[in-house]
């Protein structure tokens, strides 16, 4: 029986460092589970000074914990086995990875349709939306239909689990910046699709960055932002290139109004704000708040403002705000 389920999820548009947070916390848990998305997502995790990337396997693999790819996910078998091979070659125990039997399978037809018809929305071309479409049309193929039994989860899980989200609040299919969103539920209640009661949810740990980025297309992130030398410095110093696609991300100063809204919408109890060291290297500290661009003299002033304004934001459940640096500095 599951005793408690803590949830790590993104509060912006993705790429906030959720994988780093999950990997750092994983040793406290009995299972680490992914509940949404597919190989369109990516986590970059540093272990003993070496960089590792995952796309569908939960970050608990780096802590030697049993990992489940939940029923709300979609999977490309070819890319899954490439990822498994790379993780195994790197010395991780891939026998810990299990797939929920109801996970849906991405086919070549899905990928072709994605590339031909959805490119204008800035998708990764991984076949995600067509796969979810077939799922909803009741004509999809599931993992139980094509994976060997060694990979299929037997339904047994107990103890304390960590639920690891992909993408983020403003990419949610229901509440995000539609239509520039993903095809699954990114808010933390979606974690219950793993197979537990909402009453089991404990900590809701939202992850943000000290500035905002977005992969793909979004009117909120016009490409003209790349022409701003300070924004370009954020991208360069932050290494803002997609884990899955390698695309240069669009960036902007942190939108505090959107962050407060994401915290309120999701019921966040704790916030981790990553990549504060990037602001230090660029030497510029700004946030958008109440329709204005506010600038600070140093990181300390930036942090004080963030804590004060979020405390005054009538966020009833929020009780902890922490500031962190880039993954490679952990």
Question: CB atoms < 10 A from the CB of 116, how many?
Answer: 9
Q: Phi and psi (nearest 5°) for 286?
A: -140, 150
Q: Among the options 6, 27, 30, 43, which is catalytic? A: 43
Is residue 169 within 8 Å of residue 186, measured between CB atoms? yes
The DSSP element (H or E) to which 234 belongs, if any, is: helix 229-238
Question: CB atoms < 10 A from the CB of 265, how many?
Answer: 14
Is residue 165 within 8 Å of residue 17, measured between CB atoms? no
Is residue 247 within 8 Å of residue 216, measured between CB atoms? yes
Q: Among the options 15, 114, 134, 212, which is catalytic? A: 15
In the residue annotation, 120 being an active-site residue is answered as no
Nearest to 103 by CA among 58, 161, 160: 58
> For residue 34, how many C-alpha atoms fall within 13 Å in the half-sphere facing its CB?
32
How many residues comprise the chain?
A: 330
Is residue 87 within 8 Å of residue 53, measured between CB atoms? no
Is residue 255 within 8 Å of residue 249, measured between CB atoms? no
Tell me whether strands 50-54 and 43-47 are parallel, antiparallel or unpaired.
Answer: antiparallel
In the residue annotation, 113 being an active-site residue is answered as no
- Active site residue ranges: 15, 43
């Amino acid at each position: 029986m599951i005793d408690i389920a803590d949830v790590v999820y993104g509060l912006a548009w993705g790429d906030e460092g959720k994988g780093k947070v999950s990997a750092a916390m994983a040793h406290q848990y009995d299972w680490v589970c992914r509940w949404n998305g597919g190989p369109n997502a990516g986590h970059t995790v540093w272990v003993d000074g070496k960089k590792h990337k995952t796309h569908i396997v939960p970050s608990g693999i780096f802590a030697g914990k049993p990992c489940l790819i939940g029923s709300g996910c979609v999977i490309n078998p070819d890319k899954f086995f490439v990822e498994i091979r790379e993780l195994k070659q790197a010395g991780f125990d891939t026998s810990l990875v299990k797939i929920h039997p109801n996970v849906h399978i991405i086919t070549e037809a899905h990928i072709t349709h994605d590339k031909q018809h959805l490119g204008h929305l800035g998708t990764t071309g991984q076949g995600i939306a067509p796969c979810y479409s077939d799922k909803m049309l009741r004509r999809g193929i599931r993992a139980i239909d094509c994976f060997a039994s060694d990979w299929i989860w037997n339904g047994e899980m107990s103890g304390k689990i960590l639920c690891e989200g992909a993408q983020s609040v403003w990419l949610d299919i229901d509440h995000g910046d539609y239509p520039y969103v993903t095809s699954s539920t990114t808010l933390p209640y979606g974690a219950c699709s793993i197979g537990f009661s909402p009453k089991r949810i404990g900590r809701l740990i939202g992850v943000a960055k000290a500035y905002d980025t977005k992969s793909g297309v979004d009117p909120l992130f016009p490409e003209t932002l790349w022409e701003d030398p300070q924004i370009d410095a954020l991208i360069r110093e932050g290494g803002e290139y997609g884990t899955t696609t390698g695309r240069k991300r669009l960036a902007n100063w942190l939108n505090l109004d959107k962050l407060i809204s994401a915290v309120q919408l999701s019921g966040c109890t704790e916030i981790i704000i990553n990549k504060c060291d990037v602001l230090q290297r660029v030497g510029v500290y700004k946030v958008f708040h109440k329709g204005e661009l506010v600038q600070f003299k140093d990181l300390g002033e930036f942090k004080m403002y963030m804590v004060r304004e979020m405390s005054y934001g009538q966020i009833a459940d929020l009780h902890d705000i922490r500031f962190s640096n880039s993954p490679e500095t952990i």
